[in-house]
Structure 1
Amino acid sequence: MTKQLSNYVNRDLSWIEFNRRVLQEAQDPNNPLLERAKFLAIVTSNLDEFMSVRVAGIQMQMRAGLTKTDFTGYTPPGLWKRLIKRTAHMVNEQYRSYREVFRGLSREGIFIRSIDELNMTQTKAVSDYFHEIVFPVLTPMAVDQSRPFPLVHTKELYLSVLLSEEGDPAEEEPYFAIVQVPSILPRFVPVPGRTNSKKTEFVLLEDLIEKFIDTLFNGYIPFAVSPFRLTRDADINLNEEDADDLLEEIEKELRRRRWGIPVRLEVAKGMHPYALERLMEELEIEDNLFEIEGPLDLGFLMKFVAALPGYDSLRYEKMEPVYPREFDDTDDMFEVIRQRDVLMYHPYESFEAVNDFVTQAAYDPDVLAIKMTLYRVSGQSALVQALAKAAESGKQVTVVVELKARFDEERNIAWARQLEKAGCHVVYGLVGLKTHAKILLVVRREQGTLRRYVHVGTGNYNDNTATLYTDIGLFTSHPTIGGDASALFNEVTGYSSPYEWKAFGVAPTDLKEKLYRLIDREIQNAKAGKPAKIIAKMNSLSNQDMIDKLYEASQAGVKIVLIVRGVCCLRPGVAGRSENIKVISIVDRFLEHARIMYFHNGGEEEVYLSSADWMTRNLTRRIELMCPVFDATLCQILIKMLQLNINDNVKARELQPSGAYELVAAGEDQPFRSQFEAKMITSWKGRA
């Protein structure tokens, strides 16, 4: 008898399916070899975060003895077993792909060698490198009665070392030590070329240390050396209401993260049984053990690929973002935005336009105030420099910095201190709510009145990710949007009674209700026999209420297409519940990151940009923003963007009722790869 499927796909199992789609890009022989290597690195970094946050949370529930099922029908122990089994299978696939990719790279003359494969000249060169550069950085850490087991840092690479003294009997318990592989040094060490050879060769740093490990333990004999890596619980738990200084509290929590509870142990396959037993005992790891056949932490491949000179034939064709043509022939961006709204599509269009806008505002004597949100900022942010300059020149500059942006906390603390030092008003948002909205407001004095200029986006104000993620930005001077923007900053930075938003939908107060109203309007149109359609593009869909509302719309006859890159808990294509819903996911060269919502509205089409995914945290525990696009021409361009994704038959995968994803087959149609066709957007804008 077939087990009846739950109405929902489990969030964490859906995430496993997403990371499998990333892995499939590493396995795709049509992708260039070095790009496939980068996808292997992305699989690793994704899995690291998943383990340190989601799996750590499930472990915590199990330790607390929780056995209650979630809305998808899973208990913590039941979910744990499935996640570990599927993750182990994925990791095995990942390393098979790693070996396949490097077989291909070897045919192109790129090798990661073992030390034993080097000739005498090469061995001498890496030996010199070890003794001159590596050896002084290493610290052997013995473990015995007088020296307790040292702190093992999360996601760092270590070597376990078993040693004996000459003459020790075979049954004598070995000495045990660990050595951290220094992350400050490159993981891959270039090897000088062989005579008359064009090969590019490297050895891994851990292999080099292992080769000369005896230099760290004079008088002892190392007889078993093996790499290992630990992942700890990385979630930050704050009691914000009792925190006198939020910045100081987060700094304390970051220090505590180093001692987070162990979640996963990765070891090289074939590790000596005594060393493995000792590690599992000391680190209190019972069953989340991964024995790896290959180099631990393939995240190093991202830097490895970036450091390789040349080999353009093994990479994607270079794509230079174009400067938005609306701003091409002007030195006054304010004049352009006064006349018309401007839409930007990253990474096809350059983020430099945002930097230039803030820089112009910083130096413009008629600009009185600049206000913006910062969630994830790049290491060398031109925006931060411009904001600091504006404050130093006497302008009112207010920056809402989200200190709790996971894994970017330290960088954001540094930016916050720099901005405060320059004279900016730095605000850390509201208690218990992350500020995830992406909005910039400039107030300018013009002909005796004040005009507001606004930029809203689907992505962070980060010039690095703007070259890697697909995101939308909108510049506008529409007075209704400007009024809402001012009200939003007043709510975040001061005391303000609930505001009746004229254009925005804002979480956690009314975004969910606004989405309900928009969906209900389509439901009423469908029931009245009118065309009714919704297209929603986002990163994740996991909120049960939103899923149920979409099921209701499907049952009423509304045609729904969901473009969801990552987690999707909705189960489409089920008769009587979701047969009118189609879900596709696109994983390709760029990370699909834009959130765009389309509603047919009886032919009076409406399009919205948003910072929010349809997840519980976005709708109830974050300050999020959804903004309408009022310009009819720009609405049509956004609809065309959505249609590009819907037409994809190369990288699109469709979610099946089972929870699995299948590639959309081109069939007799011409292959259509949406990210490669998206360059057309700039020409559409030119004709607008």
Structure 2
Amino acid sequence: MSIAREPDLKEVKELKELKELKEISTKYLNRDLSWIEFNWRVLEEAQDPSTPLLERVKFLAIVSSNLDEFMSVRVAGLKDQIKAGYTKKDFTGYTPAGLIKRIMKRTNKMVSEQYKTYREVTRLLTREGIVFTEYEDLNTTQKKAMDAYYHDIIFPVLTPMAVDQSRPFPLVHNHSVYLAVLLIREGDDPDDEPYFAIVQVPSNLSRYISVPTRPNSKKQEFILLEELMEHHIQSLFSGYIPISVHGFRVTRNADLTLNEEGAEDLLEEIEKELRRRRWGSPVRLEVQEGIHPYALAQLQEEFEIEEQTFEIDGPLDITYFMKLANTLNGFESLRYPRINPKYPVEFEDEVDFFDVLKQKDVLVHHPYETFDAVTDFIVHAAYDPKVLAIKMTLYRASGNSLIIQSLARAAESGKQVTVVVELKARFDEERNIAWARMLEKSGCHVVYGLVGLKTHAKITLVVRQEEHTLRRYVHVGTGNYNDNTARLYTDVGLFTSNSVIGEDASALFNEITGYSAPHDWQSFAVAPTDLKDKLFELIEREAVHAREGRPAKIIAKMNSLSNQEMVDALYAASQAGVKIELIIRGVCCLRPGVPGLSENITVRSIVDRFLEHSRIYYFENGGSIDVYLSSADWMTRNLTRRIELMCPVLDPQMKKMMISILNVSLNDNVKARELMSNGMYTSIKNELTPYRSQFEAMKITSWKKLQLES
């Protein structure tokens, strides 16, 4: 007779986790776990041999920067919930503690895979003559040059910081790389407890340093800043012997906690919070693999982090790869071919934007069509003597924005200029504060939006005196007024002088800047007041068409879908027979292909050269098709905590172009991945000719030209 064995502690833990997983909802996918799958798709681009090598380098850097933000915001929020004793499950079935365990397990695996890819990519770079070397592998001439660089450039800015009873642990800055140094005093017993110190790797110096070329070699060699510091660490601690030097890096809670109601000056309140961000509570500790156990214990004790510790087999923080890939001279064969964005054909031969827009609407598809058209429109308005007023929202602007300069010029020349600047645009707060102050000095009316709401809508209104009347011209877009990101993100923007859209635009600015009751919109749908209800209405209308045998279809292209009510509305439409095709780059909480729930829904994600950023919504409407562009994803924050805008495309030709953009994405069988009902993504493989949507999108501008000419 066999005796039942008591399960050991490890088995009990595994059984408990298995039970918890079985309790997880099968109806929804978790937002944070879905985000991790998105970052895996970015990593897959770095692993793809068909991706040019220096582009693979960039994707590796993007994986790191994405993960930094995820940890400092999403994981930080979960840790705050755990600290507060919050144990309620979210709508996907996870408690904060259970979710953070899953996140750490999946993220650890991803980071391990990322650094495996890093080693492969650096080997391939070496073959191409781009070499990252170690100090010991340099020849005598190179060592002399690097020694001189260390003593002349690096050493003067270094500050060794000892940690002992009289010197408490210094402030460790968010996302900065440090060296943890263990030392013994010369002549002391090696078995004595070591001395502990840290040294910051200067963030204002380049992480990689160009090494003099070897004789008869065309290779470009680089050495990492921390490698040079480690080799010369003795210079910082005379009389002591270093026994261990390893890098570490801390990620802190970077979310702003604002008391907007009690803030007399929002600018000052945000500036205070930005200073506090530097010492937000730690949420992740990264250490170099092989770190001395004593040093690791010191760090974990100081930062009170154990489970969120990552041992990294390679350099910490490889976001520097982005700068390397962008600044290396030559090596064009290792990059994507340059593209030359076309100027919108409607504006090509016209001197006056307003003359064109009186006759027709113009739709612009970035980055295939240049953002210069948007900048030129605002510059044109700033200098046009007939323009009386310019009103604009600014969420993120570039570092040297001609748009900002033009708005300032317009105000100085006597035009009424109103700019809604979003000070709470995450990680762009400091830049936006600088813009706000500069615009105020030039005479612009600067508004910081409404209490508790971010202004995320992207819209410009120009009011112009024409003969005996005023005419409104509007630009509304899916992307920020930022010429830099417009080269890297796919977005659409609509120029129009449609009077109905113009009236709604005026009403929107009046709501943001003054006291106005919620407007009865003629064409717009605006969050947080009515956008969600409008979307519910449009989705339910498709369900009615399907039940009554009329054409019913939804195509929605967005960055993220995580609002439970929106997911439920799509489930209900699917059950009514509506065919739903979702193109979602990032987070998706909807589980497609579940019999009886979502068998009429497909979800695909495209990760490629450009960041898919446009939000386009298509409703078949029984054959009378409606198409919208929007600033809003279908996330809770967009629908309830932000000022967002959805605008119809009314011009038949422009509507055709929007539908073509959607169809191009739906036909992608090279870079598109389909979401399975188990939450995993699989590459779309079929027997059709390879069709890469971002390469094919360039042809839409040619199609547009042909349509206009015909």
- Whether these two folds match at TM > 0.5 is yes
Amino acid at match of 1:127: D
Q: Counterpart of 2:127?
A: 107
Q: Counterpart of 2:47?
A: 27
Question: 2:297 aligned with 1:310, yes or no?
Answer: no
Q: Counterpart of 2:693?
A: 674
Q: Counterpart of 1:217?
A: 237
Question: 2:383 aligned with 1:363, yes or no?
Answer: yes
C-alpha separation in 2, matches of 1:522 and 1:193: 66
C-alpha separation in 2, matches of 1:189 and 1:543: 46
Q: Counterpart of 1:687?
A: 706
Q: Counterpart of 1:531?
A: 551
Q: Counterpart of 2:659?
A: 639
Q: Counterpart of 1:60?
A: 80
The correspondence for 2:294, drawn from 263, 268, 274, is 274
Question: 2:490 aligned with 1:440, yes or no?
Answer: no
Gaps of 5+ in 2: 1-18
Question: 2:562 aligned with 1:548, yes or no?
Answer: no
Amino acid at match of 1:674: S
Question: Could you report, residue by residue, the CA deviation over 1:150-207 in whole angstroms, capped at 9, with x for unpaired residues?
Answer: 0000000101111111111122221111111111111000001110001111000000
Question: Could you report, residue by residue, the CA deviation over 1:39-73 in whole angstroms, capped at 9, with x for unpaired residues?
Answer: 00000000000000000001111111111111001
Amino acid at match of 1:536: A
C-alpha separation in 1, matches of 2:190 and 2:377: 72
Aligned positions of 1:409-488 closer than 5 A: 409-488=429-508
Amino acid at match of 1:374: L
Q: Counterpart of 2:638?
A: 618
The structural deviation recorded for 1:496 is 0.4
The correspondence for 2:98, drawn from 69, 72, 78, is 78
C-alpha separation in 1, matches of 2:269 and 2:424: 11
Q: Counterpart of 2:674?
A: 654
The structural deviation recorded for 1:286 is 2.3
Amino acid at match of 1:580: N
Aligned positions of 1:153-168 closer than 5 A: 153-168=173-188
Aligned positions of 1:108-127 closer than 5 A: 108-127=128-147
The correspondence for 1:41, drawn from 52, 57, 61, is 61
Question: 2:161 aligned with 1:138, yes or no?
Answer: no
Q: Secondary structure at the match of 1:249?
A: helix
Amino acid at match of 2:447: V
Amino acid at match of 1:683: S
The structural deviation recorded for 1:320 is 1.6
Q: Counterpart of 2:192?
A: 172
The structural deviation recorded for 1:398 is 0.2
C-alpha separation in 2, matches of 1:268 and 1:259: 22
Amino acid at match of 2:224: L
Amino acid at match of 1:671: P
Q: Secondary structure at the match of 1:372?
A: strand
C-alpha separation in 1, matches of 2:79 and 2:302: 18
Q: Secondary structure at the match of 1:41?
A: helix
The structural deviation recorded for 1:410 is 0.4
Question: 2:535 aligned with 1:515, yes or no?
Answer: yes
The structural deviation recorded for 1:219 is 1.7
C-alpha separation in 1, matches of 2:150 and 2:441: 43
Aligned positions of 1:588-607 closer than 5 A: 588-607=608-627
Q: After superposing the two structures, state which structure 1 stretch, 280-289 or 505-514, moved more.
A: 280-289
C-alpha separation in 1, matches of 2:517 and 2:478: 27
Question: 2:412 aligned with 1:392, yes or no?
Answer: yes
Q: Counterpart of 2:114?
A: 94
C-alpha separation in 1, matches of 2:191 and 2:687: 69
Aligned positions of 1:257-268 closer than 5 A: 257-268=277-288
C-alpha separation in 2, matches of 1:171 and 1:540: 55
C-alpha separation in 2, matches of 1:178 and 1:116: 23
Amino acid at match of 1:686: K
User: Contact conserved, 2:129 with 2:220, CA < 8 A, in 1?
Assistant: yes
Question: Could you report, residue by residue, the CA deviation over 1:506-551 in whole angstroms, capped at 9, with x for unpaired residues?
Answer: 0000001111111111111101111100000000000000000000
Q: Counterpart of 1:402?
A: 422
Amino acid at match of 2:113: E
C-alpha separation in 1, matches of 2:400 and 2:170: 35
Amino acid at match of 1:565: R
C-alpha separation in 1, matches of 2:341 and 2:526: 31
TM-score, normalised by the number of residues in structure 2: 0.96
Gaps of 5+ in 1: none
TM-score, normalised by the number of residues in structure 1: 0.99
The structural deviation recorded for 1:3 is 4.4
After TM superposition, what 4+ stretches of structure 1 lie above 3 angstroms from structure 2? 1-5
User: Contact conserved, 2:557 with 2:617, CA < 8 A, in 1?
Assistant: yes
Question: Could you report, residue by residue, the CA deviation over 1:590-611 in whole angstroms, capped at 9, with x for unpaired residues?
Answer: 0000000001111111100000
User: Contact conserved, 2:184 with 2:190, CA < 8 A, in 1?
Assistant: no
C-alpha separation in 2, matches of 1:653 and 1:482: 39
RMSD: 1.0
C-alpha separation in 1, matches of 2:278 and 2:619: 47
Question: Could you report, residue by residue, the CA deviation over 1:355-378 in whole angstroms, capped at 9, with x for unpaired residues?
Answer: 111111111111000000000111
Question: Could you report, residue by residue, the CA deviation over 1:282-332 in whole angstroms, capped at 9, with x for unpaired residues?
Answer: 111121000000000010100011121100111101112111111111211
C-alpha separation in 2, matches of 1:360 and 1:307: 33
Q: Counterpart of 1:206?
A: 226
Q: Secondary structure at the match of 1:241?
A: coil
C-alpha separation in 2, matches of 1:498 and 1:41: 44
The structural deviation recorded for 1:124 is 0.7
C-alpha separation in 1, matches of 2:419 and 2:633: 23
C-alpha separation in 1, matches of 2:654 and 2:352: 21
Amino acid at match of 1:346: H
Amino acid at match of 2:583: I
C-alpha separation in 2, matches of 1:135 and 1:3: 56
C-alpha separation in 1, matches of 2:347 and 2:256: 42
Q: Counterpart of 2:311?
A: 291
Q: Secondary structure at the match of 1:242?
A: coil
C-alpha separation in 1, matches of 2:30 and 2:307: 22
C-alpha separation in 2, matches of 1:543 and 1:341: 33
C-alpha separation in 2, matches of 1:30 and 1:432: 46
C-alpha separation in 2, matches of 1:376 and 1:391: 20
Q: Secondary structure at the match of 1:58?
A: helix
Q: Secondary structure at the match of 2:150?
A: helix
C-alpha separation in 2, matches of 1:306 and 1:682: 27
Q: Secondary structure at the match of 1:609?
A: strand
C-alpha separation in 2, matches of 1:480 and 1:290: 55
Q: Counterpart of 1:9?
A: 29
C-alpha separation in 2, matches of 1:69 and 1:292: 32
The structural deviation recorded for 1:101 is 0.7
The correspondence for 2:606, drawn from 582, 586, 601, is 586
* Count of residues in correspondence between the two structures: 687
